[in-house]
Every structure is written in C-alpha cells, then in structure tokens.
Chain A
Amino acid sequence: MSDTYIIQIKDLTKIFGNGVEIRALDGVNLNIERGEFLAIVGPSGSGKSTLLNQIGILDTPTSGTILLDGVDVTKMSDKQRSITRNRQLGFIFQYHHLLPDFNALENAMMPLLISGVKSSRAREVASLMLHEVGLGDRMEHRPNQLSGGQNQRVAIARALVNNPSIVIGDEPTGNLDTKSSESIYELLRKLNREHKQTFILVTHDERMAAKTDRIIRLVDGRIAANSHNSV
C-alpha cells in the first residue's frame, strides 16, 4: 500500500502542555496518495497548522506515527529530519519568508545550495523554476522590490526547486488579494499536474478548497470530514 500512499498517518496526537493541557491533534488517521492535491480546512485552533507542521517534520508528535514514503519520520534524528525536509519537502507559508538580503534568483537557489548543489547548477535550476512561476524577468529583484503576489511566486519556486515529493502550503494565499490568490492557486494546481507532486494546503478559503481533489475537515484536532471533490 505504501506505493500508493506517500503519507500514512496513524493515531497522531499532539498535546501542548503549559500548565493547561491542549490536545491540538487527537488520534488523527490519514492516508494521502502520491500526486494528490489536498486541502485541510477547519476553524481556527482546530489543529490544521499543527498537522501540517507534523507532516513537514518541523515538529514532533506526542504519540502516533507518520510514514513519509514508508519511512517513520517521528523516529528520525535532528540531522535526518533536516535532510528529509531538504530533499522531500517544500514549504510555502502565509508570509513568504524570503531572505530580504538576497534577490529572487538567490532565494530560489537556497534549498539547492543547502543540499550542496554547485552554485552554477543551482542558478540554472532556480532560473528555470522562476520562469515557470512567471518571474523570469524579475530574477534580480529583492523581496522589497516585488509585490506580495510576486514574492509568493518566488516562495513557490523556492519550495519546488529541489523537486520535492510533497509540497506543503500553510495559507499560501492568506496574505493576498482575491485576484492574486486565484492566480497563485492556478499556478499551484498547474505545477501539481505537471510535476506530479503531492500538494497539501491549509486554507480558510472554502472556494479554493472546493477546487482541490479532497478536503479534510478538522475540528478540535480530529478529522470531522474527509470528502473527495469532483473537479
């Protein structure tokens, strides 16, 4: 089965304890297929971002397992987690988190440089990726010289430059106006189809969620609904 499912989550629980115990995730079970374009929705505090951070191995669960491509990431060392994040995962956050002192091209190159790819090769790949997200003519611009939508496109290019098998987006259009949101959504969808990568997006935007393959609805850290869309 692990050939079909790129992500298998079993009994995943995350408890934040700071005096008062908060169950952010409460026994979540979820399988995600390779190449799926999936939305996680739910009210604030329902555990959407927590689940996303667990899948992105940015955080560790209190209990339960997460298999990425059949490998249990909850048992990985800090170093292995860094390597897995670099090779298998791409991140897009609500705020683009581009490095302000680097231009668009250099920002898009960063995951490649971190993985040890030569600068000249990284430049080539990142440049292609920026062309793909429609910023071929803005490569020398710094984040403060680009619009919100353009910065988010750079962030997308950066997330995809290492050709990860899973792309994670936490409210990737949350900071953008409707028009930019739609074009970013279309871009993500296009990349998903062309690159056959798995996209998992957390969103508040029900219209955007409705356009994905599947919607996972979280309430109080549990999956309340798991429905396939007919796109």
Chain B
Amino acid sequence: MFELDVATRHIRSRRRQTVFSIIAVSLAVAIIIIMMSMMSGMLSLMMESTIENQPHITVFPKENEDYIHLYHGLEKNILDREDVEAISSYFQGEAALQYKHSAEGVLLYGINPDDENRVVNREKDMLAGEFASLANPGSRIILGFKLANNLDVGIGDTVTAQIPGAEPTDFTITGIFQTGTPVDETIAFTNLERLQDFYGSGDVVTGLGVRLSDVYAADTIASRIDMETGYDAVSWIEQNSDILSLLKSSEGLVYLIYIIIFTISGFGIANILIMIVMEKVGEIGMLMAMGASRRSIMLIFLLEAGILGLTGVMIGWILGYVAALAIAAITIPIPPEMYFGMDHLPVEIELKNFITAGIFAMVINTLAGVFPARRASRMDPVEAIYSV
C-alpha cells in the first residue's frame, strides 16, 4: 500500500511540526482522561454516599395523617417483596437538647438499632461508642459529631430533651457518629420505644426505611408500594432528584469542554496537514500523473491525520493514566468532616473513559484531516505539476 508509505514519509520529513501536533493531541487526551476520572470519582463518591447513607426507599404516612399506625403489617407487606433486603421503622420528632447552658434544636430518630443497621450501616459511622447500645429501651442517645461539639458533650454525659407539652427527659450519651454530611449537626438517635413514650404517641411510627438489593429498582418498587398500600413511598432517586439533575446537566457542560479541547488539538493536526499539502503540490500532481487516483491522494492525507492522531492518543493514554494515579495519591489537607469525609481527590480510573477519550480524539482528528485531504485530492494535476 503505497499510500501508507507516502504518508509516513511526509510525517517523518516534518519532524518538529509532527512532534508538536502529537504533543497537542496527547495533552488533550490526557487532560480529558484526568477530568473524566475525577468526574467519575466524584460521581461515584456522591452516589455511594447517597445510596449508603439513606434508605433506598422511605415510606411516609398517608396524606393528611401524621403517623403510620399499623406499621408491623406494612413492614411485613414490604419485606415480602422482591429485591427488598431490610426494613427499619422509625419515629421522628423535633426536640431541643440541652446541656448545662447550651441548647440545640435537633431531629430525634427513634429506631431499632439492629433493623436500622441493616437498612443503613450506622455502625460504620460511629466515632465512639456502639450504635447497638440503643437496643436497650433505656434513656440512651447517640449524637452527631458536630452536635456533640456544639453542646460540648462527650460519652457518659447526660443531655436533657425538651418538647412542648411534655416533661423534660434526660438521655445518657452512649455514642457519637460522623458521616461527613450536614446530618452530623442536626440528628440524634435513640431507642424507638423510648421515643414513642417520650412523645406519648403510642405504638406508631412516622416512617419506614427500606433497603433494596438493586438500588436502581427503587423508583419502580416505590411506586408499586405507593399504589398498593396508599402510603407515600419515595425512592432515593426522587429524594435526590435535584442533585441528580444537576449532575446530568453538568455532564453536558463537561462534554462541551471536551469538544473544545479536542477541537483545539484538531486544529494542530489540520495545520500541519495543510502545510504538507501546500508544500507537496508538485508531488501530488506527479503522483496523479503516475496514475494515483484521487481516492489514493485523499487516503494519503487521511492516513497522515490518523497516524498523528493515533500516536497522540496512545501517548495521551499513558500520560493521563500516570497523571490520574499521581492526583489520586495527593492528600488534601482539609478537615475530614467536610466533603463526604474525603481526604483524597476522588479519582476513578475507568477503561471506558480511556476508550471514550480515544474515540473522541480520533473522530475529531480525522475530521481535521478531511479538509486538507479533500483539497489535495481535488487538485488539477496539470496545475499541480506546473506550479513548481
């Protein structure tokens, strides 16, 4: 195939420009791989944190009702469904917690710790004490790390819970948790029965948390529960729809940036090819006189674009991989309670990002080669030969 021969010789004869255009492509590919890896990392961190730190489906009382009364039956109904792994009923109420002269408004969650741990692994978030200590229906409480800081309390201290129309009740702190999210400042857990007593509500709950084996089935299962039981079942996807749609729209913006970066590198390739075409006019004419078809002439320059692009992509892959590894190794000096408790930049190196960046680059580089290649193939052989 003489076209490949001619193409490689052209590229080799312009060593400096070749090197620069390859650098441009590889930098573009590397930058995009890094961006994609960080996006993937951030996305899966957010997803994981969302999926792991909240029930996949939350069932709320029927419209115009404050409580779910016969919740044991509802628990059984939901547990019997396919894909449902665990269920945890809870009673939620607002209260003020007081310690000495400090007071904070909190959301009190009454739960059964075994059930709750099966739906959301609270035990892994424990900084001190054990979540299971709430199994005892005594007056025990577990606070978020920031809430404990704000009240200036620690394990063993006793805080007083107050609500309008009820006697203030003392709770002993048996644990402190940290999730790295805002709930660390606003939530406290206690035993379900104890909280029902405190609010004088009787054996009712305000909601049920459900864990699924397939998180992406949450919407379907939630709407089925909703339809069949009449209770208001909301999936994690619906609860986080704002964040998810924000992520989606930001993805579009990121792709726009990818296109811009690749287009810039594509111009580098177009530039060197236009220069070669201009320089080789007589040669192109002579190739035509020797019987090279217009298709062959076009192929020569498309091959040149392809060779430059492919070399750039491969170097870019290596650069991107090394850079992503290096970035993942950097420790960020920020307090761990911020940003989902991360102390590293969330980098996820995925094969699909390399493939996407590679295909993206090759498409744009080939397009960059089309204009010079067409120009060369449409030359009038007589004009080309006598132009020298």
Q: How far is the CB of B5 from chain A (nearest CB, A)?
A: 7
Q: Type the 1/0 row for B133-159, where 1 means its CB is closer than 8 Å to any CB of A.
A: 000000000000000000000000000
- Size of the A side of the interface (Cβ < 8 Å), in residues, is 29
- Of the candidates A59, A101, A102, A111, the one whose C-beta lies within 8 Å of that of B290 is A111
A85 to B289: give the CA distance in the assembly, Å. Answer: 6
Are A101 and B294 within 8 A (Cβ)? no
Interchain CB contact (< 8 A) of B282 among A84, A91, A97, A111:
A97
Select one of B285, B296, B380, B381 contacting A114, CB under 8 A: B296
A179 within 8 A of partner (CB): no
B291 in contact (CB, < 8 A):
yes
Contact of A82 among B2, B286, B288, B386 (CB under 8 A): B288
Q: Which of A59, A99, A100 has the most CB of B within 10 A?
A: A99
Shortest B2–chain A CB gap in Å is 4
- Tell me the nearest residue of chain B to A78, going by C-beta: B294
Q: Which of B12, B289, B290 has the most CB of A within 10 A?
A: B290
B386 CB contacts on chain A under 8 angstroms: 49
B20 vs chain A, min Cβ distance (A): 19
Contact partner of B291 (CB less than 8 A), chosen from A49, A95, A97, A114, is A114
Does B127 lie at the interface of the complex (its beta carbon under 8 Å from any beta carbon of A)? no
A163 within 8 Å of B by Cβ?
no
Nearest A-chain residue to B14, judged by Cβ: A101
Q: Is B356 an interface residue (CB 8 A)?
A: no
Give residues of chain B (354-382) contacting chain A, Cβ–Cβ below 8 Å: 380-382
Our pick among B283, B291, B294 for the contact of A115 (Cβ within 8 Å) is B291
Interface positions of A from 166 to 209, Cβ below 8 Å from B: none
With A91-B290, A114-B2, A114-B290 as contacts: A102 and B9 at CB distance below 8 Å:
yes
Interface residues of A in 90-122 (CB under 8 A from B): 91, 93, 95, 97, 99-102, 106, 110-111, 113-115
Report B290-317 CB contacts with A as 1/0, cut-off 8 Å: 1111101000000000000000000000
Task: Tell me, yes or no, whether A83 is within 8 Å of chain B by CB.
Answer: yes
| Distance between A162 CB and nearest chain B CB, rounded to angstroms | 8
List A contacts of B286 (CB < 8 A). Answer: 91, 93, 97, 99
A29: Cβ under 8 A from any B Cβ: no
Q: Which residue of B lies closest to A83 (CB)?
A: B291
In B1-60, which residues have CB < 8 Å from any A CB?
2, 5-6, 9-10, 12-13
Residues 27-79 of A contacting B (Cβ, < 8 Å): 49, 53, 56, 58-59, 78-79
> Quick check: B13 and A97 within 8 Å, CB to CB?
no
Question: Which A residues touch B9, using CB under 8 A?
Answer: 99, 101-102
B18 CB to nearest chain A CB (Å):
13
Contact indicator B292/A82 (Cβ below 8 Å): yes
Q: How far is the CB of B4 from chain A (nearest CB, A)?
A: 11
Bound-state Cα–Cα, A101 to B290, Å: 17
A110 with B290: CB separation less than 8 A? yes
Check A101/B12 contact, CB under 8 A, given A58-B385, A114-B2. Answer: yes
Q: Considering the chains assembled together, what is the distance between the CA atoms of A53 and B384 in angstroms?
A: 12
Q: Which of A49, A97, A113 is close to B285, meaning CB atoms less than 8 Å apart?
A: A97
Q: Is A23 an interface residue (CB 8 A)?
A: no
Would you call A87 an interface residue if the criterion is a C-beta within 8 Å of the partner chain's C-beta atoms? yes
Which residues of A are found within 8 Å of B283, using beta-carbon distances? 97, 99-100
Instruction: Determine whether A86 belongs to the interface, using a CB cutoff of 8 Å to chain B.
Output: yes
Residues of B within 8 A of A113 (CB): 2, 5
Q: B326 an interface residue at 8 Å Cβ cutoff?
A: no
Contact: A58 with B289, CB < 8 Å? yes
**Distance between A99 CB and nearest chain B CB, rounded to angstroms:** 6
The docked-state distance in angstroms from the alpha carbon of A101 to that of B12 is 9
CA distance A97 to B286 in the complex (A): 6
Q: Which residues of B contact A99 (CB under 8 A)?
A: 6, 9, 283, 286-287
| Residues in A lying within 8 Å of B, measured CB to CB | 49, 53, 56, 58-59, 78-79, 82-87, 89, 91, 93, 95, 97, 99-102, 106, 110-111, 113-115, 158
29 contacts between A and B (CB under 8 A): A53-B382, A58-B288, A58-B381, A58-B382, A59-B380, A78-B294, A82-B293, A84-B291, A85-B288, A85-B289, A86-B291, A87-B291, A91-B286, A91-B290, A97-B283, A97-B286, A99-B9, A99-B283, A99-B287, A101-B12, A101-B13, A102-B9, A113-B2, A114-B2, A114-B287, A114-B292, A114-B296, A115-B291, A158-B290
Rank and list the top 9 A-B pairs by shortest CB-CB distance, nearest first. Answer: A86-B291, A101-B9, A97-B286, A113-B2, A82-B293, A85-B291, A91-B289, A111-B290, A101-B13
Known: A49-B386, A58-B289, A91-B289. 8 other contacts (CB 8 A): A59-B380, A82-B291, A84-B291, A86-B291, A87-B291, A93-B385, A97-B282, A113-B5
